[in-house]
């Protein structure tokens, strides 16, 4: 049987390296194709895929242990970083462990946010870039197709991505549960920081169209609003605009409440007591606690949402356990396929040797018959020599299995008899 080339997964991620180092070894999308060509030329590996996101840089490749060392050197040189420092933060998985790591990454089990769905698309993009660069051959073709199938099964058959695990996502999910279709709902976002930006992104993904961004600094409100085709106002305009909002989500750095009970009470009167859903993601609070006392105001704080997030994280952990079983099965199927590839070459070589022996002995027998030798003796001699030569190598292999390994010996005998 031929020796199958080892598969490696080499990289750094949010668990092993600080962001400063991750930034240094990240590949820009326009770099990847050239980097793959340089990598395969420098190390003589044939299969290579580069996955580079904000939280990880990983190289999947085949080769020997010495080539794996060459890849590490190449990575440090390509990004002009100190090799010894890089080594301290790298991980290197081989064969089944490499395949398992790839499947965990694609399924969202190795992400900063457990179960996040974007990573599968990023893995597919990395694979397509490698295919276009000519660095994906049959072995990696099979590995990545199996990975995509497993990741799809994880998404379909588990709840890994079904529950909100950030307060921003939880706020939007809760709004969607209350209002259903968000396309006709009017939303007021107070603040222009990272949290509100993430809320706006989730709202847009859920189909919300009418967004207004309010911020103390009007210019920052405009910058954020432009990203989501929203309107921008100042905090001073909030009392006048509040009655138009079905949903209010606030997250600022203010030390004092921005939205008071009286302000909401007046807005509800102008709305003719049509319900208003308010989410306060700020600490200290942006919305006075007494707002919850109003009959048509439904106020949720960051603590309320954190309880939801913690429960959802627990649900995702249970889904992750199911996903790991699916991944182990996928790894086993891929490993079996690799073994069969070696067996196919082994069987082909064995059959060819048998054919060569048969042709050689047949030619000798024909010559003997042409020379007038007794046909019965010629055939007997040929059959004896044929069986002896065909049995020599398999018999030697069976003996090497050892006296105690009867099951493996019988398996090999049955396999050879079926050839």
Residues tagged active-site: 54
54 among annotated binding-site residues:
yes
What is the rounded distance in angstroms from the CA atom of residue 20 to the CA atom of residue 107? 26
118 among annotated binding-site residues:
yes
111 among annotated binding-site residues:
yes
* Residue 250: how many other CB atoms lie within 10 Å: 25
Kindly state the tokens that stand for 379.
């055939």
Given CA atoms 11, 14, 15, 16 in this order, what sign does their dihedral have? positive
Instruction: Give Cβ neighbours of residue 10 (< 8 Å, ≥ 6 apart).
Output: 58, 59, 60, 61, 68, 71, 72, 75, 90, 91, 92, 93
Nearest to 187 by CA among 163, 214, 220, 164: 214
Contact (Cβ atoms closer than 8 angstroms) between residue 247 and residue 186? yes
117 among annotated binding-site residues:
yes
194 among annotated binding-site residues:
yes
53 among annotated binding-site residues:
yes
125 among annotated binding-site residues:
no
Contact (Cβ atoms closer than 8 angstroms) between residue 40 and residue 46? yes
What is the rounded distance in angstroms from the CA atom of residue 306 to the CA atom of residue 296? 23
Given CA atoms 79, 84, 85, 88 in this order, what sign does their dihedral have? positive
195 among annotated binding-site residues:
yes
191 among annotated binding-site residues:
yes
138 among annotated binding-site residues:
no
192 among annotated binding-site residues:
yes
- Neighbouring C-alpha atoms within 13 Å toward the C-beta of 175: 32
Nearest to 256 by CA among 291, 234, 286: 286
Nearest to 277 by CA among 287, 24, 285, 345: 287
**Residue 133 Cα distances to 4, 125, 226, 334, 391, angstroms:** 23, 12, 36, 24, 47
Nearest to 220 by CA among 208, 239, 201, 235: 235
116 among annotated binding-site residues:
yes
Which residues are annotated as part of the binding site for substrate? Answer: 53-56, 111, 116-118, 122
Which residues are annotated as part of the binding site? Answer: 53-56, 111, 116-118, 122, 191-196
Which residues are annotated as part of the binding site for NADP(+)? Answer: 191-196
């Amino acid at each position: 049987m031929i020796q199958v080339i080892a598969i490696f997964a080499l990289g750094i991620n949010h668990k092993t390296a600080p962001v400063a180092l991750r930034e240094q070894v990240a590949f820009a999308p326009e770099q990847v194709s050239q980097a793959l060509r340089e990598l395969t030329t420098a190390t003589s590996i044939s299969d290579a895929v580069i996955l580079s996101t904000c939280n990880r840089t990983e190289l999947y490749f085949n080769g020997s242990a010495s080539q794996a060392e060459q890849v590490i050197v190449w990575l440090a040189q390509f990004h002009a970083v100190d090799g010894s420092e890089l080594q301290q933060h790298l991980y290197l998985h081989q064969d089944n462990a490499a395949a398992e790591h790839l499947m965990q990454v694609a399924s969202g089990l190795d992400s900063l946010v457990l179960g996040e769905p974007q990573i599968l698309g990023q893995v597919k993009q990395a694979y397509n870039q490698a295919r276009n660069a000519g660095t994906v051959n049959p072995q990696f073709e099979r590995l990545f197709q199996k990975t995509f199938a497993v990741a799809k099964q994880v998404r379909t058959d588990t709840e890994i991505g079904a529950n909100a695990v950030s307060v921003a996502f939880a706020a939007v999910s809760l709004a969607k549960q209350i209002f259903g279709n968000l396309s006709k709902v009017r939303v007021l976002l107070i603040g222009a920081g990272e949290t509100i930006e993430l809320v706006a992104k989730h709202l847009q993904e859920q189909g919300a169209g009418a967004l207004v961004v309010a911020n103390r600094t009007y210019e920052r409100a405009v910058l954020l609003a432009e990203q989501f085709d929203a309107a921008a106002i100042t905090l001073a305009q909030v009392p006048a605009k509040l009655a138009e909002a079905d949903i209010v989500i606030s997250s600022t750095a203010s030390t004092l409440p921005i939205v008071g009970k009286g302000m909401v009470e007046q807005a509800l009167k102008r709305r003719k007591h049509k319900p208003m859903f308010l989410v306060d993601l700020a600490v200290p609070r942006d919305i006075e606690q007494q707002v919850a006392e109003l009959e048509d105001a439904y106020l949720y704080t960051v603590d309320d949402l954190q309880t939801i997030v913690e429960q959802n994280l627990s649900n995702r952990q249970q889904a992750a356990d199911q996903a790991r079983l699916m991944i182990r099965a996928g790894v086993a199927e891929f490993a079996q396929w690799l073994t069969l590839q070696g067996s196919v070459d082994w069987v082909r070589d064995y059959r060819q040797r048998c054919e060569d022996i048969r042709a050689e002995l047949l030619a000798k027998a024909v010559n003997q018959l042409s020379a007038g030798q007794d046909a019965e003796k010629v055939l007997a001699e040929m059959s004896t020599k044929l069986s002896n030569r065909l049995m020599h190598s398999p018999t030697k292999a069976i003996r090497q299995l050892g006296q105690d390994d009867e099951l493996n010996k019988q398996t090999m005998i049955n396999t050879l008899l079926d050839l």
